[in-house]
């Protein structure tokens, strides 16, 4: 039952991503997590973008870009344009890029408070 | 000579004007709505408001089960399309899908009923469908468009809509092309106070061996409003002419040195 529900959620997630673009660039079978500091949260269509400053092994900082669902979709599922603020220390779970470049598709974000915001599978707030 | 030329030109104009008038269809002129027309709306099933296909919910979700049954010619076309499929579709460049695919987006739609018309405001790509219920005839040869030309009527509690005239850009189903003979019939009806069923029948004598019927179930959200969706605002996805997909991961505000 849980497996079936999970399958439906993933199928639906793939369907929604197809709303604007396909998943050819993403390694959809893979999930990774990365910790960093929010540089900017773009609350824009057709996708939100989390720009995350992540320390690299050269003593500097790289800015990673993570694409998320649109503000239209997320705004009805518990997110807002102030969900992530510059300076927030967060952990992002994401689908990595196939080519290994510094970015991916956000699946969930763990906030400094420990609260987790999910990209797909969250029910609309008016139904909770 | 000059007078003769002048007269000849005038005759030409007259003939051209006559031919133009004879060929043009007289545009349908909707009579102004009366208080009775507005009152009649209140007696119709209430389809108004904001609706969305529940994610992973009943009714087949965004991609209803079942595949269209294609003629050999269109099966070959669909196969060729799949074989040479790009990594992405032009929706990555913010080109919206047409009918019937636009009705399966994971975004809400608002239904408005006014005398002689049902309007569907589609949040995805900020699009609008106009369904004329004012008794106008279906145009004989409408310009092909993404959503076609839609004429509707009420059959009891069901809004029945026929659409024709689709752009070749639109797909009958995912990566399945259609012919210029494609017609789409839709039946909109309430199955409970906040649930709407949309049964979609695609008819295409060149592409399909049988009508392709699918049903979607939508839920009404009384507290929702339709949001703006300007796809070009911050679109970092793209697909090039060879179908190769790309994504721009340059952080905002990065100076590139280019003007």
Question: Which DSSP string do the residues of B214-228 spell out, in sequence order?
Answer: EEEEEEE-TT--PPP
Is the CB of A114 inside 8 Å of chain B's CB atoms?
no
Query: A with B: how many residue pairs have Cβ under 8 Å apart?
Result: 114
Quote the minimal CA–CA distance from B190 to chain A in Å. 19
Q: Indicate the pLDDT class of residue A3, thresholds 50, 70 and 90.
A: very low
* pLDDT tens readout for residues B126-169: 999 999 999 999 999 999 999 999 999 999 999 999 999 999 99
Contact A40 B252 (CB under 8 A): yes
Per-residue pLDDT band for B64 (boundaries 50, 70, 90) equals low
Contact A24 B231 (CB under 8 A): no
**How close does chain B come to A112, measured CA to CA in Å?**
23
A18 contacts on B by Cβ (under 8 Å):
91
pLDDT of residue B15: 47
**B53-72: average pLDDT:** 71
For residue A63, the chain B residues in CB contact (below 8 A) are 251
Separation CA A67–CA B236 (nearest Å): 9
Report yes or no for ipTM above 0.90.
no
Contact B229 A49 (CB under 8 A): no
Judged by CB atoms closer than 8 Å, whether chains meet at B87 and A24 is answered as yes
Contacts with B248 (C-beta within 8 Å, 6 or more apart), sequence order: B236, B237, B238
Cβ distance of B88 and A21 shorter than 8 Å: yes
Q: How far is CA A4 from CA A8, B101, B216, in A?
A: 6, 25, 20
Asked if B227's CB is within 8 angstroms of A71's CB, the reply is yes
| B108 φ, ψ (degrees, to nearest 5) | -75, 165
Q: What architecture is the B48-232 domain classified under in CATH?
A: Beta Barrel (2.40)
Best B106, B122, B219 member to test A by mutation, with max A CBs in 10 Å, is B106
Task: Give the other-Cβ count within 10 Å of B175's Cβ.
Answer: 13
pLDDT of B243 above 90: no
Question: So what's the pLDDT on residue B25?
Answer: 65
Split into its structural domains, chain A has a count of: 1
Specify the CATH number for the domain of residue A82.
2.40.50.140
Which of A22, A24, A72 faces B107 most closely, judged by CB atoms?
A72
How many helices (H) and strands (E) chain B has is answered by 3, 11
Residues facing residue A66 across a β-bridge? A50, A104
The verdict on a CB contact (< 8 Å) between A22 and B236 is: no
A89: left (phi over 0), alpha (psi -120 to 50) or beta: beta
pLDDT per position as a tens digit, A60-116: 999 999 999 999 999 999 999 999 999 999 999 999 999 999 999 999 999 999 999
Cα A126 from Cα B37, distance rounded (Å): 34
CA dihedral A41, A42, A43, A45 (to 10 degrees): -150
- What is the pLDDT at residue B253? 87
Closest partner CB to A21 (pick from B62, B233, B237): B237
Q: Which domain holds residue A43?
A: 2-127
pLDDT greater than 80 at residue B65: no
């Amino acid at each position: 039952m849980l497996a079936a529900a999970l399958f439906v959620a993933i199928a639906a997630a793939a369907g929604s991503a197809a709303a604007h673009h396909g998943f050819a660039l993403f390694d959809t079978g893979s999930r990774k997590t990365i910790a960093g500091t929010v540089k900017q949260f773009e609350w824009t269509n057709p996708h939100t973008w989390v720009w995350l400053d992540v320390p690299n092994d050269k003593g500097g900082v790289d800015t990673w870009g993570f694409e998320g669902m649109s503000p239209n979709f997320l705004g009805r599922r518990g997110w807002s344009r102030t969900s992530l603020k510059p300076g927030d220390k967060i952990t992002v779970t994401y689908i990595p890029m196939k080519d290994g470049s510094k970015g991916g598709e956000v699946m969930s974000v763990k906030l400094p408070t420990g609260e987790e915001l999910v990209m797909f599978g969250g029910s609309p707030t008016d139904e909770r | 000579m000059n007078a003769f030329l002048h007269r000849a030109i005038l005759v030409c104009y007259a003939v051209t004007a006559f031919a133009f008038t004879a060929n043009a269809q007289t545009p349908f002129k909707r009579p102004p709505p009366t208080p009775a027309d507005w009152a009649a709306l209140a007696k119709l099933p209430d389809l108004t408001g904001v609706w969305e296909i529940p994610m992973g919910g009943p009714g087949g979700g965004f991609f209803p089960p079942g595949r269209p049954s294609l003629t050999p010619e269109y099966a070959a076309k669909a196969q060729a399309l799949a074989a040479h499929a790009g990594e992405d579709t032009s929706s990555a460049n913010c080109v919206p899908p047409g009918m019937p695919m636009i009705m399966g987006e994971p975004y809400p739609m608002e239904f408005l009923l006014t005398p002689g018309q049902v309007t569907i405001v589609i949040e995805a790509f900020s699009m609008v469908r106009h369904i004329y219920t004012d008794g106008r005839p279906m145009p004989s040869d409408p310009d092909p468009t993404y959503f076609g030309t839609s004429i509707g009527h009420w059959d009891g509690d069901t809004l029945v809509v026929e659409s024709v005239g689709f752009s070749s850009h639109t797909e009958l189903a995912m990566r399945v092309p259609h012919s210029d003979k494609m017609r789409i019939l839709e039946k909109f009806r309430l199955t409970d106070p906040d649930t709407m069923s949309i049964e979609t029948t695609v008819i295409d004598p060149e592409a399909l061996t049988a009508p392709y019927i699918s049903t979607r179930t939508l839920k009404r959200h009384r507290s929702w409003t339709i949001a703006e969706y300007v796809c070009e605002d911050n679109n970092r996805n793209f697909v090039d002419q060879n179908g190769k997909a790309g994504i721009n991961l340059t952080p905002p505000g990065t100076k590139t040195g280019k003007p």
